[in-house]
Structure 1
């Protein structure tokens, strides 16, 4: 019901927001259209005014830069001026009035089409004075006419003014030249005609701005307003809004009806969604949320309070192998089969949930909780029979941990967490039988978390460092390579064992940071020993990282390292955990020029098969075989067989852990290529290694 109400409320709020948004956007767009149209009208008015002034200026230039007109003026030939100037202007209708004013401002000749005005009324002394001021700073030339606006008895005049100039005007005092003035009234008919061409039906000239209309002030040269050009701004947006009101209203109404229909159906959908949200789609079991809801139910809480609940945590081993072999669809088949076996192995009242890709939880309540040990033991047995997926048999095991109701201090979450801790313990110890929770597990988990936090801080604080151990040829005992080893000296913990450092780094996901630190430092140090092979250990987590090869390539290029100088060392565990991806990564590394060594050879279960399956360059025989040389006859035989296998695969051989001259001599006789161990030197920092190698050079030269 609460979900239904929430969905209905969301739909109603969505409708309201949609209505408001669409309405607001429509009004905003209409106003934007209106504003753009108004701005365009202003631009058109400015352009039209400029064009009109330009035409009048050209006409004034033509008549003022006319030698015959000046000579007619000079000799007072009014007939010539009437015939050639006045008639030309009147017939072409470029002006309503034309005058020629003498330098002292008097009209000596004029013509007007205005019957009710005299020349002096139309072209006043003030207008003549302003025209002369406009022309005062204009150099004499054929295009020196200017235009301006003035006020006449019949309204606003557009004035064109130019000096009447003789052909031979060199040395002429421009202030002594007469002025030709052509005036054209901005009559309502003319203004209206201009407005219609711009779709402005009411364009007019007014003495004052008109409320509700746009306007453009008309100024004379003295910046005095002689009138206003006014018009009603176009409103295409308002017209568009009116046209959209009906279809938009219909569309919004339909939308509201659809939303109401959806809201009425929400009740049924809500129940289905709530059920689906609590179930795992693949198995039909409870998912993590369904499990949490069950544990939070009042009935379960009451049982937990009485100690009547037990939780079994199951982690399936080998799930990834199935995915890699037959694909994810095959993995889905396995998950469903595992779920079916869990249901069959547990009581009918048990609550089984899938809480992760390969993790399951079984909750036992009441009498079943008392039998948690027997039920937990049934689960590994149920997994013993091979699973058949895509006609292929797969052997799958599981790690099982459980916590009883008596461990439930802190409620259901604490009980679930403690069962998880017990499962983790079983997984770490590779136990096939279930593991019961004990309080020490929380102490161990807390210690691991604290150690992980210290390691994280150590990486950031730069507390890690690299030491190098030499590798020498068995022929002449010359150092030909160095193995890089990471070390951590903590101000709080002291020297941390390398095995613990690597184990926690891999478990916590910090191995990428640690591994990148080692690789980067080795690349930085490589310039010191260009003739030595530098070996670096790579962990399983690093090799599983999809970006490992590309990051390694970037480091090599950054430091200018020749890839052939670097060798990576891998244990057999790295290769056997994910064989196909591991083989691809090794091939990519070898294509770069990096060599690959198999470390700790002889300690795994499938060492020979590893040599056959993976691209390798070197074999490193584990120290456990070397330590028995001279005391156990079988040790030499085993090493000799390892060397024979390596020779068959064209691999060089390194014996690790060499501590005595006797061991070194026997290794030489067994045809091994290289030795490594305390006989040569203990691991040392880069500065100490530089001194050591310098001493080795002096010793070799002396020999």
Structure 2
């Protein structure tokens, strides 16, 4: 160092040396000081971000455990089996089976009206105080809080508690009904409690999407590690989350240490190095900020801008006075493909969808709005005709998606709206019409594009009004049933009827089933309609000798109460189970084949029969016909319509009937409208025929009168309005 100073003095005039040395030292010192201050500030900001992330994680955890318990506590069946007469087996089959054995909750309790423990997941013979002793004082506070809540709402709370040195995440809820069809017994309600020990595995689950290292749960805060308090109901800390924080500033400072040493030895060179290293540090910080901003505004799966970026870009362009067009789109058939082929295939489909949309729209702004929804924002200068862009996107979905050995066909429904930049225009006023238009495209058959028009809002309001009126009609039991005759192909005699739901409203008039049934399925009303149809049809047909066929919707099939509903209808009406036939579709087989087999077998154990409806319209394999214990196969009308003029269609029909006979299945052909279709279906081997040729759906009284007709052999020629 001394020799270097001497050499510098030899090359620099004495009058300038010390000022230059002082200036260099000052610059170097300031640079080093700024480096340390900047590193410390960056470490502090990173720590604050990590602390806030953990606070949000704890809040999310309490919300999730409350969500897990909500559906089981506010449930009509829970009131029947727990609130009135406690049924431990029902509790084990319907609550513990999922929350305890699947979701991983360590403790599940049921408390009676005096807050005594009457059921415990872990204890064969629990004591009255088992739940209180295990979960501690904060849990007892939650009981008092739930008891003060009205039972006509959702009396449930969740949080953290500490007992015996363990911290638990728990939720406490009163067992209350979901609908007005079930009433609570007198006195205090029973309570359901779920709890989970906050251990290392739970901590890992909490923070799997974050970057905290060496996460620990401590009873007392540590002065050496950052901490976030886990608070009980009283606001007091019952535990502390501690971790090793990331220190990007310190890491940066350590990386620059060798350069700083060199700069200290050679002052002049050090000044240049400081400047260069400082510039690199700034670049690193800027890149880090840009990357963080990119991640906050982009979808990690597809790389597209996310909904937040879409909103920001729309607001920005509207504020600039741009005339914009927004296309909102949703994949058709994605959910079924995701369920059938798995989430990995679903991710590949979404990435390929993003690529196809980008290739179709050129320079337009493309974003993933969420789930399987995408959006394209077009400025007036980027495209002369938005319809062409929509057609180009639709054209990208003509070819199926190739995933390994599978070719998956998906469609896309597109809705678009336009807006001009003006003070009154906001992104919401533009995005809502595009969303409405997209749902109109789905309602018009999917895989098409629709532009927003005010009439679509009227249609939306009409749908909401229909849903409200349908709910009232179900509550008042105004859904009625019509019956379509099914004849024996050999004798022409009516041997069965299919029950079909109908609805007539004073305001809407006769509402077609293809209108109100989808509304019922989307709004969760289909189960109530199914129960009413089942009960009414069994009551109306019990004194005839006709078989009764009833369709099951997917929601009904997967409803845990289906078996009880069918059993109740048979017992209360006295309808012979061997005359009842429930019809299911191929799609039910694909979602969860093993579970579907169990449901079918439990229904057949009641003595009823199961038919596969609309055969040929799905993608179920022949193996499913062998795996499922079915009784009848109903050939869809799309195979029947062309058989009079299409030889290939007739060969297809013969092939289907041969397959059914090989599987020991009885056969019914649907959609028979002409004598020629009836004759060919009979020749192909169909044992039963159904269609307008033999009668339209009609009231039960008309069916009974038809059966009383003395000229019974001519019943198949009956045509009614």
Q: What is the TM-score with the length of structure 1 in the denominator? A: 0.51
Alignment of 1:137-536 (within 5 A): 254=223, 278-296=297-315, 299-303=316-320, 306-348=321-363, 350-365=364-379, 367-368=381-382, 370=384, 372-383=386-397, 387-389=401-403, 392-405=406-419, 411-430=426-445, 432=447, 434-476=449-491, 478-523=493-538, 527-529=542-544, 532-536=546-550
Q: State how far apart, in whole Å, the 2-side matches of 1:432 and 1:661 are.
A: 36
Q: State how far apart, in whole Å, the 1-side matches of 2:692 and 2:392 are.
A: 51
Q: State how far apart, in whole Å, the 1-side matches of 2:462 and 2:476 are.
A: 21
Cα deviation for residue 469 of structure 1 reads 3.5
Cα deviation for residue 395 of structure 1 reads 4.3
Cα deviation for residue 449 of structure 1 reads 2.7
Cα deviation for residue 358 of structure 1 reads 0.9
Say which SS state the counterpart of residue 548 (structure 2) adopts: strand
Change (3 A) 1:365 1:536: same
Change (3 A) 1:332 1:256: closer
Equivalent of 1:589 in 578, 584, 600 = 600
Deviations 1:318-372 (A, max 9, x none): 4335434542123223323333443444445x44322222111122345226564
Instruction: Look at both structures and tell me which one has the larger radius of gyration over its CA atoms.
Output: 1
Q: State how far apart, in whole Å, the 2-side matches of 1:388 and 1:625 are.
A: 28
Residue 221 of structure 2 contacts residue 227 of structure 2 at CA under 8 Å; is this kept in 1? no
- Stretches of structure 1 lacking an aligned partner (at least 5 in a row): 15-249
Q: State how far apart, in whole Å, the 1-side matches of 2:690 and 2:567 are.
A: 30
Residue 668 of structure 2 contacts residue 686 of structure 2 at CA under 8 Å; is this kept in 1? yes
Q: State how far apart, in whole Å, the 1-side matches of 2:345 and 2:645 are.
A: 49
Residue 538 of structure 2 contacts residue 570 of structure 2 at CA under 8 Å; is this kept in 1? no
Q: State how far apart, in whole Å, the 1-side matches of 2:555 and 2:663 are.
A: 27
Q: What is the TM-score with the length of structure 2 in the denominator? A: 0.50
Q: State how far apart, in whole Å, the 1-side matches of 2:646 and 2:402 are.
A: 46
Cα deviation for residue 569 of structure 1 reads 2.8
Equivalent of 2:583 in 563, 569, 574 = 569
Select between 352-361 and 466-475 the one with higher mean Cα deviation: 466-475
Cα deviation for residue 475 of structure 1 reads 4.8
Residue 308 of structure 1 contacts residue 370 of structure 1 at CA under 8 Å; is this kept in 2? no
Q: State how far apart, in whole Å, the 2-side matches of 1:498 and 1:292 are.
A: 38
CA RMSD of aligned residues (A): 5.3
Change (3 A) 1:614 1:497: farther
Cα deviation for residue 313 of structure 1 reads 1.6
Change (3 A) 1:664 1:347: closer
Q: State how far apart, in whole Å, the 1-side matches of 2:362 and 2:671 are.
A: 55
Residue 570 of structure 2 contacts residue 577 of structure 2 at CA under 8 Å; is this kept in 1? no
Cα deviation for residue 696 of structure 1 reads 5.5
Cα deviation for residue 310 of structure 1 reads 1.8
Q: State how far apart, in whole Å, the 2-side matches of 1:536 and 1:310 are.
A: 47
Deviations 1:428-468 (A, max 9, x none): 44565644334433333333333233222222222111233
Q: State how far apart, in whole Å, the 1-side matches of 2:337 and 2:639 are.
A: 36
Change (3 A) 1:464 1:430: closer
Say which SS state the counterpart of residue 473 (structure 2) adopts: helix
Change (3 A) 1:320 1:390: farther
Cα deviation for residue 311 of structure 1 reads 1.2
Change (3 A) 1:373 1:453: same
Q: State how far apart, in whole Å, the 1-side matches of 2:642 and 2:361 are.
A: 51
Say which SS state the counterpart of residue 368 (structure 1) adopts: coil
Q: State how far apart, in whole Å, the 2-side matches of 1:310 and 1:285 are.
A: 18
Residue 369 of structure 1 contacts residue 405 of structure 1 at CA under 8 Å; is this kept in 2? no
Change (3 A) 1:286 1:562: farther
Residue 542 of structure 2 contacts residue 576 of structure 2 at CA under 8 Å; is this kept in 1? no
Aligned to 2:632: 618
Change (3 A) 1:578 1:598: closer
Q: State how far apart, in whole Å, the 2-side matches of 1:460 and 1:258 are.
A: 54
- Stretches of structure 2 lacking an aligned partner (at least 5 in a row): 1-40, 56-218, 230-241, 250-284, 714-721
Equivalent of 1:537 in 531, 545, 551 = 551
Say which SS state the counterpart of residue 405 (structure 1) adopts: strand
Q: State how far apart, in whole Å, the 2-side matches of 1:649 and 1:282 are.
A: 45
Q: State how far apart, in whole Å, the 1-side matches of 2:593 and 2:489 are.
A: 31
Q: How many residue pairs were aligned?
A: 449
Residue 626 of structure 1 contacts residue 635 of structure 1 at CA under 8 Å; is this kept in 2? no
Q: State how far apart, in whole Å, the 1-side matches of 2:289 and 2:516 are.
A: 51
Select between 353-362 and 576-585 the one with higher mean Cα deviation: 576-585
Q: State how far apart, in whole Å, the 1-side matches of 2:374 and 2:679 are.
A: 56
Q: State how far apart, in whole Å, the 1-side matches of 2:666 and 2:479 are.
A: 31
Deviations 1:15-65 (A, max 9, x none): xxxxxxxxxxxxxxxxxxxxxxxxxxxxxxxxxxxxxxxxxxxxxxxxxxx
Deviations 1:58-105 (A, max 9, x none): xxxxxxxxxxxxxxxxxxxxxxxxxxxxxxxxxxxxxxxxxxxxxxxx
Residue 664 of structure 1 contacts residue 675 of structure 1 at CA under 8 Å; is this kept in 2? yes
Cα deviation for residue 538 of structure 1 reads 2.6
Say which SS state the counterpart of residue 400 (structure 1) adopts: strand
Say which SS state the counterpart of residue 285 (structure 1) adopts: coil
Q: State how far apart, in whole Å, the 2-side matches of 1:347 and 1:547 are.
A: 49
Deviations 1:273-319 (A, max 9, x none): 887555434334333344334434xx33314xx35222122222343
Q: State how far apart, in whole Å, the 1-side matches of 2:483 and 2:531 are.
A: 17
